[in-house]
Chains A and B, each alone.
Chain A
Amino acid sequence: MATDNPYLAHLNPKKGGKSSASPTPGNNPLYGFLPRRVTGEQARKALESDVNPFTMQPHTPQYKKILEARKKLPVYSQMDEFFKIFSENQIIVMVGETGSGKTTQIPQFVCYSDLPHTKGKMVACTQPRRVAAMSVAKRVADEMDVQLGKQVGYSIRFEDMTEPGTTFLKYMTDGMLLREAMNDPELTRYSTIILDEAHERTLATDILMGLLKTLAKRRTDLKLIVMSATLDALKFQKYFSLKHGEVAPLFKVPGRTHPVEVFYTQEPEPDYVEAAIRTVLMIHRAEEPGDILLFLTGEEEIEDACRKIKIEADDLMNQDPDSVGPLVCIPLYSSLPPQQQQRIFDPPPPPRTPDGPPGRKVVISTNIAETSLTIDGIVYVVDPGFSKQKVYNPRIRVESLLVSPISKASAQQRAGRAGRTRPGKCFRLYTERDFMKELEEQTHPEILRSNLANTVLELVKLGIKDLVRFDYVDAPAPETLMRALELLNFLAALDDDGNLTALGGIMAEFPLDPQLAKMLIVSPEFKCSNEILTIVAMLSVPNVWVRPPSQRKEADAAKQMLTVPDGDHLTLLNVYNQYVANGQDKNWCWQSYLSARALQQADNVRAQLQRNMEKFDIDLVSIQDSNKLYTAIRMALVCGFFMQVAHKEGEKGNYLTVKDNQVVALHPSCGLDNQPEWVIFHEFVLTTRPYIRTVTEVRPEWLLEFAPQYFDLSTFPDGETKRALQRVLNKKQGKAAGRVDGTNSDKRMTKKQKR
């Protein structure tokens, strides 16, 4: 056990207080600390010390300043309780409002009690978002007066900012911890694991909860803290009950909240965006000073609302400068560059004249402002009741990206945002009756809404044999698991008994979707691994195309210049190559309507993946002849994405997805200049209509050649697709039988197809 750790003997006055192992025991602020027996009082004393207990360097003046600010956090005042509950329990569920300081303080408290650095262990704190992991780690490094990447670090996909042996507090995305578990199922390097923002119920957090619940039974020395911002703690408490009938203990930190008055509309709104704009202007006109937070659903909608509100508000102010002050609109969504995201912390604009009416700030945000970000000064919340939700359906393998009603829990969370600084108001743009009747209690956790192919591969690699009886917090639909297993089997990552194959093992090592990993691994056979690597990297970053609403034409023209008519995958390759050829120049990106940030990221991802490939001796090769190269690339694409093929039917650009027979259209962003008969697609999404996105032309012979199992015609439902494939097959066999006659019949065949 930890208390018997010989490294700590010198810290224990009873056992060896006079030992000379520690040169200056009196100077060490952690002197006398017993791991996991530390009290709040001891910790406070250490915090007040002039010496940094982790670096043994004197504290900088900055440290004291930050410490004073930390003392004001609600969590800080409950330090004693926390140390007690942490000492006495293996698993703790913690509830604290956003802004209570739990994400920054609790992991530090844990370090003071767990003393991971003394036993070569680490404390991990998971975050659902990359940005949060990075920014919180930076903040905590400052608070602990250490350099980021040394004692305190972070680890996110494609970026590791830690120093092995030095880092003992690691912020990481939940997905990263899951990946680490793949190669170290016991998670031996951690002494305490903190799952933060558990209420968000991301896929990775859900899976981690299942894994850690079982792991905690095996590893009794592992402590686990599940932190959540909402009141649904009971579910976690029950889930993590160690003894039958006894729930996991709860540590609760009340947030600094003020009452929020909630208003509903009398009637349903015919247009929620328009209603939201009207409400914001109404508040601006008639309500006391205080900033407004408006929840909308996506980038485009937010930018649009920003523009409209700005125009209307300026109008109002010009009409009535004595009573209406200036209004500034600040958009907030995840694809916004970090500097611009920082704008939400700007103070509201000053009055136009010294005695004029005060200015006001409106933050128009997606639901990132719901729980994970704290914006001070918000007094009014406008909640139309919607958010964009991703829902995967295994039956037709579509991902729907639609605006859907939020849950009651979300609505409560949104309302709570208004009471951060003083009593506030929340305007719900729906009726109270609809709030009660139409909204679900809780948002569906991501595991119910996601394609699980990646997760299943990770779990199998982790050694989880029984995916049916895995202890899910909320179990996904059985058909989703079935689809995942089917895909992995067709990709030859799993054999027919569900065992991981050698190929599957390598695929799991790549932080990619299995189709992409497969494509990357086989690409050297087609002598185009360099190019496939680029395409995979480009597909792993946010959209590289920039299309500002005021310059759509220019942006489309610039895109046209870079487009390769054979396929969008090839276009992505071309964009990256041009980016490199132009010296990764930001100006060039800007002129070509490309996101320099996304391209920079793609470059980074590419380098990371290249390292992965080197690890498995996957050669980086290319062909010189560009025509042959493009063909080779498209063949390699088929090897990964043969289950995502659509066949053209009829003349009007209708495509039918193979096997599921869904009528789909090419996404408007697609750059194909004609409508080829056979295409592979990267995604099938349902937005305003069913679209296939990122599409490349392929030849049917390749489908039959590289994926004979999937394109086994005996398993095909009757239809145009099957007939078309049958013709190709016949032709192929005819060719093999007698080459003389072949050319003639070929012509006839193609003509027939065209009709």
Chain B
Amino acid sequence: MAEDEDDYLSDKFLADLNAASSSEPKTYSARRKEAEKKAKLKQEQNRIKSRRQLELESREAGLSKSLFERAKEEEATVGKGNKALAMMMKMGFKPGQSLGQVHDEPAPEAASVTPERAVSSTPEVEVKESSAEPSRDGTPFESMTRGLGSGIKHRTEPLPLNEWAGKKGIGSLKRGPSPSSLERMAKMAKTTEAVDQDTFRSRAREDYLERRAEGRLAPAQATCVSLDEKAGKAFNVLWLNPNNPDAFPEELMNALPEEPVVAKTRRRQEQETIEARLRKQMKADALQPLSPEDDSPSKVAERDQAQLTPEQLEEAVKFLSQSAQQRLAAVLSYLRSEYSYCFWCGCQYNDAEDLQQNCPGENEEDHD
């Protein structure tokens, strides 16, 4: 009986108190209660997470084992076979086979029959072959019909289950954007996210690392420029230094979203004040010509042709929005893969193999 009533020490009373006097300064115990509550909530969340984990694990375990395996195990442990399987075996089934008729018609022969010829093989049938096959778009119908035409092959395993993917569009789970700059961008994106959610301590450390990377970026980029130029490259996104935007190609400046990309890195150095930020905002809001094309369309077009492709532009924007460490990492890995050059060793190896064998590793620590 007593269990049903609230204990006089129950935090239910405290919760009521808290609610009533939330605006007043909190006592120690109230704060402690609050902290406890939070911890409890967090615990709960963790538990929900682990429940999802449980669901997933049990599902995977269940899906990975075929019923034939299960039947076999059962037979081994209990000594009773699966009746349904026995029925199927009586019908001539063997585990591992598919159901349905085995069509003796050789598959390749079937595949070679195109639909048109298939029709004409029954000459008595006069069907208006729509010569104007509505080829609605550029996708190959051929490959589809060929896929259908191939020999019948029945399933031996159930269709896999999809997992819930929310509202993500097709392809967005599988790969990132354009394949060429894909890897670099993925790496960059991953680290940015992580940086955003750090605590003060790690942030301080991060700042230190960032400054250090900043210092190393300049010589690394210089090396990159000289090696690239030696290789005959006119432009590389990795040369760009946000601290020195004057060196940017002009169309890149136009393409950059003003505030976030260039200013972000500057702000970090300036320890920017409110006034500075305001000034910047005003500058950003100020009237600007819509595009340089209004002034000199021919000139711009000319330069466009000469220099950046849209893909490069986009890549540049992404590159510049990364932290110094990420940029450094990108430049270094580029040097390693492209020129077998190790920044920490300070030398260029003969080839990838040489680099592999003689360089102690990718990181600075490896070179201590």
Return chain B residues, CB-CB under 8 Å to A480.
158
Return chain A residues, CB-CB under 8 Å to B126.
81, 84-85
Q: Which residues between 145 and 202 of chain B lie within 8 Å of chain A, taking CB atoms?
A: 145, 147-149, 152, 154-159, 161-165, 167-172, 174-175, 177-178
Tell me the minimal C-beta distance from A69 to chain B in angstroms: 22
Return chain A residues, CB-CB under 8 Å to B132.
254
Q: Is the CB of B91 within 8 A of A498?
A: yes
Binds A, one of B25-33, B47-55, B338-346: B47-55
Return chain B residues, CB-CB under 8 Å to A270.
168-169, 172
Return chain A residues, CB-CB under 8 Å to B163.
402
User: When A246-B121, A272-B168 are in contact, do A479 and B99 touch as well, CB less than 8 Å?
Assistant: no
Q: Is the CB of A385 within 8 A of B155?
A: no
Return chain A residues, CB-CB under 8 Å to B92.
466, 468-469
Q: How many residues of A contact B (CB 8 A)?
A: 117
Tell me the minimal C-beta distance from B127 to chain A in angstroms: 5
Return chain B residues, CB-CB under 8 Å to A690.
55, 59
Return chain B residues, CB-CB under 8 Å to A660.
62
Return chain A residues, CB-CB under 8 Å to B159.
391, 393, 444, 448-449, 477
Q: How far is the CA of A699 from the CA of B175 in the complex (A)?
A: 50
A248-270 contact mask (Cβ, 8 Å, vs B): 1 or 0: 01111011011111100101111
Q: Which residues between 116 and 131 of chain B lie within 8 Å of chain A, taking CB atoms?
A: 118-119, 121-122, 124-130
Q: How far is the CA of A489 from the CA of B169 in the complex (A)?
A: 43
User: When A408-B139, A426-B137, A429-B169 are in contact, do A485 and B88 touch as well, CB less than 8 Å?
Assistant: yes
Q: Is the CB of A416 within 8 A of B136?
A: yes
Tell me the minimal C-beta distance from A721 to chain B in angstroms: 13
Tell me the minimal C-beta distance from B209 to chain A in angstroms: 30
User: When A231-B145, A468-B92, A715-B80 are in contact, do A664 and B137 touch as well, CB less than 8 Å?
Assistant: no
CB-nearest residue of chain A to B175: A268
Q: How many residues of B contact A (CB 8 A)?
A: 86
Q: Is the CB of B144 within 8 A of A251?
A: no
Query: Within 8 Å of chain B (Cβ to Cβ): is A271?
Result: yes
Query: Within 8 Å of chain B (Cβ to Cβ): is A395?
Result: yes
Contact partner, B91, options A392, A434, A468, Cβ 8 Å: A468
Q: Is the CB of B100 within 8 A of A472?
A: yes
Return chain A residues, CB-CB under 8 Å to B143.
441
Contact partner, A402, options B99, B135, B164, Cβ 8 Å: B164
Contact partner, A405, options B130, B147, B170, B178, Cβ 8 Å: B170
Return chain B residues, CB-CB under 8 Å to A494.
87
Contact partner, A475, options B55, B58, B99, B115, Cβ 8 Å: B99
User: When A472-B100, A481-B88 are in contact, do A396 and B137 touch as well, CB less than 8 Å?
Assistant: no
Q: Which residues between 38 and 74 of chain B lie within 8 Å of chain A, taking CB atoms?
A: 47, 51-52, 54-55, 57-59, 61-63, 65-68, 74
Query: Within 8 Å of chain B (Cβ to Cβ): is A335?
Result: no
Q: How far is the CA of A11 from the CA of B105 in the complex (A)?
A: 45
Return chain A residues, CB-CB under 8 Å to B168.
268-272
User: When A394-B158, A469-B92 are in contact, do A434 and B55 touch as well, CB less than 8 Å?
Assistant: no
Query: Within 8 Å of chain A (Cβ to Cβ): is B78?
Result: yes
Q: Is the CB of A471 within 8 A of B101?
A: yes
Return chain A residues, CB-CB under 8 Å to B108.
none
Return chain A residues, CB-CB under 8 Å to B232.
none
With A272-B170, A402-B161, A489-B87 known, 19 other A-B pairs at CB within 8 A are: A81-B126, A235-B149, A247-B121, A268-B174, A384-B169, A392-B158, A396-B62, A403-B165, A412-B139, A438-B171, A441-B147, A466-B91, A470-B100, A474-B100, A475-B99, A476-B99, A477-B159, A479-B157, A483-B67
27 contacts between A and B (CB under 8 A): A81-B128, A89-B125, A232-B145, A234-B145, A244-B105, A245-B105, A247-B113, A250-B119, A252-B130, A254-B134, A260-B136, A265-B169, A268-B171, A269-B172, A389-B162, A409-B144, A429-B170, A430-B169, A434-B170, A469-B91, A475-B100, A486-B84, A661-B58, A663-B54, A663-B58, A686-B161, A689-B164
Q: Hey, which bits of chain A sit against chain B, CB under 8 A? A: 78, 81, 84-85, 88-89, 231-235, 237-238, 244-247, 249-252, 254-255, 257-262, 265, 267-275, 384-386, 389, 391-396, 398, 400, 402-405, 408-409, 412, 415-416, 419, 426, 429-431, 433-435, 438-439, 441-442, 444, 448-449, 465-472, 474-486, 489, 494, 496-498, 652, 654, 656, 660-665, 686-690, 714-715
